[in-house]
Structure 1
Amino acid sequence: MRNLWASLSLGLASTYASGKDTKPSVQNSNHIFNAIHSSMRQWGSSLIHNGMSLFLATVPKGVELYHGTSEPARINGTEWLAFEPEHALVFARSHRGPPPGRGGPPEPERHPHDDEAWHPPERFDERSRYMPWHGDSACDDLEPRHPRHDDRPLTHTAGQRARARMQHEQQRLFIEENSPEDQSYGYLHTYQPKKDLRLLYIDGQSAAKSDKGTLDMQDIVLLHDNPPPKGADDHPPLREPSKDGHRRPGGPMGEVYRAEKLCELAQTEWQGQIDGFLRMELGFEIILCSFERDLDVKRITRATSQDMGGSSGPGGNGNGLNYYQAVASRFDGIGGHRVTLSYDNFISLFAAEGAMTFNEKKLPRARNDSNIIRTFLTATKEMILQPPTTDPKDWQAVADMVVTKYADRIQYLASGDVDNLKSFKAELRQLLRPFIDYGNRNTTLEIHRCATQYVPELSSSSGVAAVSVLNVATTICSTLSNAAEASTHKEALDRTQSLKSWLAWPIWKRCRGCGYNEVCFVPIWPMGGEQEHEHPRCVSNMSEISRGYWGDRGPGPHHRSKSSNKNDLR
């Protein structure tokens, strides 16, 4: 796969640098561009939720990271960390309370490798670790009451791994025996990395336990030889090993098993060069393989459910809204240089022929083809083990410049509001005139100047990111140039609308004009319907949203029939 990408880059660099080729290409470059642009951004990653790409990521030493649990003692072993305290506070709950999640139908009687078309179970999964007990958590606006499973430990994982629980069992029992009967608090742990953490970032909503493809990169690709077994989430983790000496996997859709196997892969196949895995759901999180090795405790504080604050009634702020506001604050990036991604050297299923397909809902899905997957896994190992890039290029910053320059202009032209050819061409001329030599017209050179305004010249070593960003920029410039030469208004409009559809930039679904007490709601697992995925809207209370994750069970009782998106330009 590496060789494939190198040949694509070399072919483009050698022909396009001279301005002779106006149509550089790489397979699915529009999707790769969007993966780059949306990486580590809650908004784009929520809309483009089936991640097909892997990036090397670094979290600097000393960054504050959070873990919510019922336990006051520090955590060791493999566990989950949140970047925002509101994310972890959902799980800073008493061990007395019922856990997130609930039971459901068993897995289909089918093994993951029975056929090529297998994907994570095709069913709506409500057994989420982000489904806390109704009325006693930050998400009490989101879901109906769940049955309790008192033997499930409450932690940021929705079931702390058995050995971690056993380590703290004596302390837990002491607290239980010496606490008042109405104890309602848990603990918020704040940790700091002892060193720079080297992580593998799986893009999209890769922490979403859904059947829509969010787990494909993990379960079909990375864990191809050891996928989560069927029925992995039908029971909590055992406190004691089973008769055969093995603990059954626990957590929603085999989440605990998934984490352990990913860390095993990092330690063995990747020679310990990866410390954990960076993923996203309602907030960014890390599966860190060794808390004990990599983290210092900054503080451990007691929390109560009331600490989340806010009213859950109609028009109130609501606990769920408070959590979502924290998530929405990272729509445009994790911020604070808390994560650095390597764009010069990342890999994507989009760039490999036959590695993925699009289903009937136009969602990308990984193909369960062992030959393709093993090639991809080899490329992943090479990416991880090779020395870091000496002079990295921030291709997300380049993609940002392309999007911010053209997004509003393309949306305006494609809207149909410019209703005659003369005005349409006038708009296009304003966009293109900086690249035109009116004393010596040359369309090929004009497109080349336009496309390379922000993209540096490529070389034989340019990677997929460089090729894809340049291809998108060139497609924009060539389409606008062709539209400027159209003989009819319909022709010019059709070309611009086709360009907008091909680009599919997430920014075009952003709400405009939300109130100070509202957030632009886009479905993020485990909540939100398909209609809201197509048309995100301003909300002031989580009771206004559809129940479930694309379950489309209808909005809550306080749903307003008219969207509060005051300036929706979609």
Structure 2
Amino acid sequence: MLLSVRHLLSFWLLVFSIPLTSTSALVAPGSSYGPDLDAARRNAFHIFNVIHCAMRQWGSSVNHNGVSFFLATVPEGNLFYHGSSSPDRPDSFEWLAFEVEHASGFALSGDPRMPPPGLPRPTNKPDTFSWQPSYSEISGTQMSPTQESHVTEDSSAQNRLIEDDDRGKHSPPPTSRGYFQTYRASRPLKLIYIDGMGAAEGCWGTTDSQDLLLLGLSRNFTDGPRLGDTVYGRLLCELAKEWGVDGWVRMETGFEIIYCDFASGGGLEFVSQHGSAFPNETENSQWEVKTLLFELLRAAAKRHDGFSSGRIRIDWSSMVTAFAYDVNTTNPDLERQDLPRLIEVTKEEKEDIGARFGEVVASRKHGVNPMIDWQNIVDDIVTRFSDRLNFITHGNLSVEMLWGEVSTLLNPFLNFPEDRNASTPSPIGVTLCTNHYLNAAMMRRDIWTLEDTANFIAVKVVADKICSSLFQIRTLLSSARVGEESALLKSRTIAGTLMDQLQWTTWKGCGRCASSWQFCFIPMFPTGSVEDYYSPNCKGLDDMDDVVKGCYWAGVVPC
């Protein structure tokens, strides 16, 4: 009876599965746009990682070239922070920080145009845009002093936190007091999240998605000069107004919001304001600057695994990603094939993806929409398999230990005694293992969006690859024809190949740092070196001099 019930369950799981070999694009009624299932299957490992890394500082720093967009909501009552050289409430778009330490860097007192010494300035390459907006092009937009501070020679988003080499070549400008302001969401805030490190301004292609897919800018380049944050703010807020949203979420050294309406009644309630100290008002200004950077990076690192559930809510069913379309995301830089680029995507393809996201925004902007929590599903899979796959690949295991690891992972999907000594993978077992964490999503097919279907295809491909590989290892271990050493070697090879395909960011961390005064550091714009990217390590206050000397964001190897 147990076996027949098991067969029946498997049958229905197969019935409700979507064929992985479909060649048709999914198109909404009345639309000519939609994700392509073949592309979703082909890019399954990328889509899986997009979901896993979204709104997480660590994963978004490792996979810093985002190509995806999500609708997001900030619940009413959440606090955000703004640093400015003006005590006035902004009257147009401005920047909000999730962390106190992030906004504090923009609330420094002193020269309003020059940042304190000792903090990093990324190297810039010559402009190669086919179109480069000038300062005069944005002069029609009234800018607050903070916005003006974002328009620099290199248009760095970290203007107040970068070193100006020409500081001594000009007459000392007047000084000003900096102000730290706190705001509270007076209603749910409707935002769009741009994944990856979308606020980074390096040469790697971190702004491709917003430049090419959202804003439709025409570029002819291989590496990127900067538009400047004020240009981005104006253009993105024009689009936000068109789409009926409040602003944009992006990431650099911490997450930020480009909020498009700071005026009273725009969704933000003013809470408090505090003036910051001039350097001569503190006992040790140099130590304060070094500490400022340390605390900024440490605060960002606290979000390596994401935010608490009530801070910001991502609508996973709204996810539109270039990986779900039949477009070329290959990086022309042969040394960085791990980073996707969108510069080979045609004008028509860019317009299609952008138009599809516009449709998604229009269809889901009213009220609370039902959704599938794909990150929860993906997290369950990563949590279940990440450490064990790493242990199987790199641990010094005996056959007995390896059999124990594999049995722990697969026995819940086997039927004993029939499957006790199976020398071939159990088709039913593989199916049960593959669909296990997808069951919740499969029960709610009635609310699926087109993007849910593409996500389902991708997650199922990844789950099937994991389960099939583990069953393959089990077959090796249970076969009398395979010697012990050979079985171990082949099993490690299978697991290692799988890890290479998965490329989970959980395998790149530092582990537990020796001191609570340290944090696991990976380059976060504009800090860090090439070595820090490939070998992240624990950093403390005494390491800040090395952090600012890094040149990762220059895109030059060696520095």
TM-score by length of 1: 0.74
Q: Which residue of the partner structure matches residue 348 of structure 1?
A: 321
Cα distance in 2, alignment partners of residues 354 and 539 from structure 1: 39
- Cα 1:14–1:218 shift into 2, 3 Å: farther
RMSD: 3.7
Q: Which residue of the partner structure matches residue 430 of structure 1?
A: 408
Task: Specify the code of the residue in structure 1 equivalent to 2:340.
Answer: P
- Cα 1:305–1:528 shift into 2, 3 Å: farther
Q: Which residue of the partner structure matches residue 359 of structure 2?
A: 382
Cα distance in 2, alignment partners of residues 212 and 103 from structure 1: 13
Matched, 1:82 2:65: no
Task: Give a deviation string over 1:32-54, Cα, whole Å, max 9, x none.
Answer: 11111111111111111001110
- Cα 1:19–1:282 shift into 2, 3 Å: closer
Number of residue equivalences: 472
Q: Which residue of the partner structure matches residue 144 of structure 2?
A: none
1:19 deviation in Å?
7.4
Q: Which residue of the partner structure matches residue 280 of structure 1?
A: 251
Cα distance in 2, alignment partners of residues 89 and 149 from structure 1: 25
Q: Which residue of the partner structure matches residue 51 of structure 1?
A: 66
- Cα 1:263–1:411 shift into 2, 3 Å: same
Task: Specify the code of the residue in structure 2 equivalent to 1:31.
Answer: H
More deviation, 435-444/395-404: 435-444
Cα distance in 1, alignment partners of residues 524 and 532 from structure 2: 10
Runs of 5+ in structure 2 lacking a partner? 1-10, 23-39, 133-152, 420-424, 477-481
Q: 1:395 aligns with which of 349, 354, 374?
A: 374
- Cα 1:309–1:484 shift into 2, 3 Å: farther
Q: Which residue of the partner structure matches residue 32 of structure 2?
A: none
Runs of 5+ in structure 1 lacking a partner? 1-12, 114-124, 133-138, 152-175, 234-251, 557-570
2:428 counterpart SS class: helix
Cα distance in 2, alignment partners of residues 414 and 75 from structure 1: 54
CA contact (8 A) 1:228 1:254 kept: no
Matched, 1:365 2:365: no
- 1:139-288 equivalences in 2 (<5 Å): 146-148=165-167, 185-225=177-217, 253-268=227-242, 270=243, 273-288=244-259
2:517 counterpart SS class: coil
1:353 deviation in Å?
1.1
Task: Give a deviation string over 1:240-273, Cα, whole Å, max 9, x none.
Answer: xxxxxxxxxxxx53321122111112223x3xx2
2:41 counterpart SS class: coil
- 1:411-426 equivalences in 2 (<5 Å): 411-418=390-397, 420-426=398-404
Q: Which residue of the partner structure matches residue 468 of structure 1?
A: 458
Q: Which residue of the partner structure matches residue 508 of structure 1?
A: 507
CA contact (8 A) 1:189 1:300 kept: yes
Cα distance in 2, alignment partners of residues 149 and 483 from structure 1: 65
CA contact (8 A) 2:108 2:177 kept: yes
CA contact (8 A) 1:59 1:339 kept: yes
Matched, 1:445 2:445: no
1:499 counterpart SS class: helix
Matched, 1:38 2:53: yes
Cα distance in 2, alignment partners of residues 535 and 32 from structure 1: 24
- Cα 1:194–1:231 shift into 2, 3 Å: farther
More deviation, 320-329/276-285: 320-329
Cα distance in 2, alignment partners of residues 548 and 131 from structure 1: 17
1:552 deviation in Å?
8.2
- Cα 1:93–1:390 shift into 2, 3 Å: closer
- Cα 1:226–1:62 shift into 2, 3 Å: farther
Percentage of matched positions with identical amino acids: 30
- 1:81-160 equivalences in 2 (<5 Å): 81-94=96-109, 96-100=111-115, 107-108=126-127, 110-111=129-130, 128-130=156-158, 132=160, 146-148=165-167
1:61 deviation in Å?
2.3
Q: Which residue of the partner structure matches residue 551 of structure 2?
A: 548
Cα distance in 2, alignment partners of residues 91 and 55 from structure 1: 27
CA contact (8 A) 1:543 1:555 kept: no
Cα distance in 2, alignment partners of residues 294 and 430 from structure 1: 50
Cα distance in 1, alignment partners of residues 284 and 412 from structure 2: 52
Q: Which residue of the partner structure matches residue 538 of structure 1?
A: 538
Task: Specify the code of the residue in structure 2 equivalent to 1:62.
Answer: G
- Cα 1:36–1:510 shift into 2, 3 Å: same
1:455 deviation in Å?
1.6
Cα distance in 1, alignment partners of residues 190 and 268 from structure 2: 13
Task: Specify the code of the residue in structure 1 equivalent to 2:545.
Answer: S
Task: Give a deviation string over 1:316-351, Cα, whole Å, max 9, x none.
Answer: 983311111111111111225111001122110111
- Cα 1:313–1:66 shift into 2, 3 Å: closer
1:190 deviation in Å?
1.0
Q: 1:335 aligns with which of 305, 308, 327?
A: 308
1:379 deviation in Å?
0.6
2:88 counterpart SS class: coil
1:427 deviation in Å?
2.3
Matched, 1:324 2:297: yes
CA contact (8 A) 1:200 1:274 kept: yes
1:207 counterpart SS class: coil
- Cα 1:102–1:552 shift into 2, 3 Å: closer
Matched, 1:519 2:516: no
CA contact (8 A) 2:202 2:224 kept: no
CA contact (8 A) 1:57 1:342 kept: yes
- Cα 1:484–1:38 shift into 2, 3 Å: same
Cα distance in 1, alignment partners of residues 272 and 462 from structure 2: 47
Matched, 1:26 2:26: no
Cα distance in 2, alignment partners of residues 295 and 228 from structure 1: 39
1:346 counterpart SS class: strand
Cα distance in 1, alignment partners of residues 507 and 43 from structure 2: 20
Cα distance in 1, alignment partners of residues 165 and 122 from structure 2: 9
CA contact (8 A) 1:79 1:291 kept: yes
CA contact (8 A) 2:109 2:278 kept: no
1:466 deviation in Å?
2.8
TM-score by length of 2: 0.75
CA contact (8 A) 1:228 1:257 kept: no
